[in-house]
Structure 1
Amino acid sequence: MKMEERKPAVCICGGGSQGHISAGVIGSNSNYIVNVLTRRPKLWSHDFTTIDLTGKEYKAAIHTISDDPAIVAQSDIVLICLPGYAIGEQLQRIKTHLSPHTIVGCVFGGSGFFIQVQNVLGDATRCFALQRVPFTGRPLEYGHSARLKGYKPYLKVATMNIEERDSNAIVEMLEDWYNTPVYKLSHYLEATLSNSNPILHPCRLYVLFKDWTPEKVYTRIPFLYDTDWDDESSELWVACDNELRDIIKKYPIDEKEIPSILEYYGCADTKQLTAKIQSIEPFKGVQPHMIEVEGGYKLDTEHRYFIEDIPYGLVLIKTFAEKVRVPTPNIDRVLEWAQRVMGKSYIINNRLIGSDVSNKIKEY
Structure 2
Amino acid sequence: MDERPDELKVCASSVGCSTSLFRRIPDSGYADIRVCVVGGGHAAHALMALLPSRGLPTSVFTSFGNEAARIRQGLAEQGSIVADFETHNSPAGVVRGTPVRVTDDPAEAIPDANVILIPLPSFAYVDVLTAIAPHIAPGTFIGATPGQGGFDYIARRILGDAFRRVTIFSIMSMPFNCRITEFGKAVHVQQFEDEYTICAVPQDRTPDAMRVVARLLGKKCLNGGHFLSCTLFPLNANIHPQRMYCVLKNWKPGEVLPRNPLFYEEMDAEAGALMEHTSAEIQELVKLLSTRYGLEMHVPTIYESEYISFPDPSCKTADQLFAKSPGYKGFKCPLKPVDGGWAPDFSNRYFAEDIPYGLCVWKGISELAGIPTPTIDFLLHWAQKQMGREYLLANGRLAGRDTRETSAPRRFGYSSIDDLVL
- Between 314-323 and 113-122, the greater mean CA deviation after superposition: 113-122
Work out whether 1:103 is the aligned partner of 2:141: yes
What residue number does 2:199 align with?
A: 158
Q: Pick from 39, 45, 48 the counterpart of residue 23 of structure 1.
A: 48
> How many Å apart are 1:243 and its aligned residue?
0.7
Work out whether 1:170 is the aligned partner of 2:195: no
Rounded to whole Å, the distance in 2 between the matches of 1:265 and 1:169 is 26
The AA in structure 2 aligned to 1:91 is: L
Rounded to whole Å, the distance in 2 between the matches of 1:270 and 1:278 is 9
Q: Pick from 82, 89, 93 the counterpart of residue 131 of structure 2.
A: 93
Q: Deviations for 1:107-147, whole angstroms, at most 9, x for unmatched residues? A: 21223211221221135352111121112111121111211
- Between 347-356 and 245-254, the greater mean CA deviation after superposition: 245-254
Rounded to whole Å, the distance in 2 between the matches of 1:28 and 1:101 is 25
Q: Pick from 24, 32, 45 the counterpart of residue 7 of structure 1.
A: 32
Report 1:124-273 matches (<5 A).
124=164, 125-161=166-202, 164=205, 167-226=206-265, 228-251=266-289, 252=293, 253-255=295-297, 257-266=298-307, 272-273=317-318
Rounded to whole Å, the distance in 1 between the matches of 2:357 and 2:225 is 22
What residue number does 1:355 align with?
A: 401
What residue number does 1:58 align with?
A: 95
SS of corresponding position for 1:249:
helix
SS of corresponding position for 2:327:
helix
- Residues 176 and 189 of structure 2 are in contact (CA less than 8 Å); yes or no, is this contact kept in structure 1? yes
SS of corresponding position for 1:138:
strand
Rounded to whole Å, the distance in 1 between the matches of 2:335 and 2:127 is 26
What residue number does 1:277 align with?
A: 322
The 1:293/1:360 distance shift into structure 2, 3 A limit, reads closer
- Residues 174 and 182 of structure 1 are in contact (CA less than 8 Å); yes or no, is this contact kept in structure 2? yes
SS of corresponding position for 2:389:
coil
Q: Deviations for 1:175-229, whole angstroms, at most 9, x for unmatched residues? A: 1222221112221111111211111111111111112333232111111111x11
- Structure 1 residues not aligned, in runs of 5+: none
The AA in structure 1 aligned to 2:35 is: V
What residue number does 1:67 align with?
A: 104
- Residues 391 and 399 of structure 2 are in contact (CA less than 8 Å); yes or no, is this contact kept in structure 1? yes
- Between 257-266 and 293-302, the greater mean CA deviation after superposition: 257-266
Q: Deviations for 1:10-68, whole angstroms, at most 9, x for unmatched residues? A: 000011111111111112111x2100112311221251121211252222121000011
SS of corresponding position for 1:100:
coil
- Structure 2 residues not aligned, in runs of 5+: 1-21
The 1:215/1:115 distance shift into structure 2, 3 A limit, reads farther
The AA in structure 2 aligned to 1:355 is: R
Q: TM-score, normalised by structure 2?
A: 0.80
- Residues 110 and 198 of structure 1 are in contact (CA less than 8 Å); yes or no, is this contact kept in structure 2? no
What residue number does 1:77 align with?
A: 115
What residue number does 1:291 align with?
A: 336
SS of corresponding position for 2:278:
helix
Rounded to whole Å, the distance in 2 between the matches of 1:301 and 1:269 is 35
Identity in percent: 27
> How many Å apart are 1:263 and its aligned residue?
2.3
Rounded to whole Å, the distance in 2 between the matches of 1:155 and 1:102 is 21
Rounded to whole Å, the distance in 2 between the matches of 1:27 and 1:289 is 32
Rounded to whole Å, the distance in 2 between the matches of 1:286 and 1:87 is 26
The AA in structure 2 aligned to 1:94 is: I
- Residues 128 and 160 of structure 1 are in contact (CA less than 8 Å); yes or no, is this contact kept in structure 2? yes
Rounded to whole Å, the distance in 1 between the matches of 2:233 and 2:250 is 27
- Between 68-77 and 339-348, the greater mean CA deviation after superposition: 68-77
Rounded to whole Å, the distance in 2 between the matches of 1:221 and 1:36 is 35
Rounded to whole Å, the distance in 1 between the matches of 2:158 and 2:264 is 36
The AA in structure 1 aligned to 2:147 is: G
- Residues 234 and 271 of structure 1 are in contact (CA less than 8 Å); yes or no, is this contact kept in structure 2? no
Q: Give the superposed CA RMSD.
A: 2.0
The AA in structure 1 aligned to 2:398 is: L
- Residues 315 and 321 of structure 2 are in contact (CA less than 8 Å); yes or no, is this contact kept in structure 1? no
Q: Deviations for 1:77-135, whole angstroms, at most 9, x for unmatched residues? A: 11101111112111111111112232211121223211221221135352111121112
> How many Å apart are 1:297 and its aligned residue?
1.6
SS of corresponding position for 1:82:
coil
> How many Å apart are 1:3 and its aligned residue?
2.0
- Between 292-301 and 1-10, the greater mean CA deviation after superposition: 1-10
Q: Deviations for 1:226-260, whole angstroms, at most 9, x for unmatched residues? A: 1x1111111110011101111111214344x2111
- Residues 169 and 201 of structure 2 are in contact (CA less than 8 Å); yes or no, is this contact kept in structure 1? yes
Q: Pick from 68, 78, 83 the counterpart of residue 41 of structure 1.
A: 68
SS of corresponding position for 1:74:
coil
> How many Å apart are 1:269 and its aligned residue?
10
Rounded to whole Å, the distance in 2 between the matches of 1:119 and 1:89 is 12
Work out whether 1:301 is the aligned partner of 2:346: yes
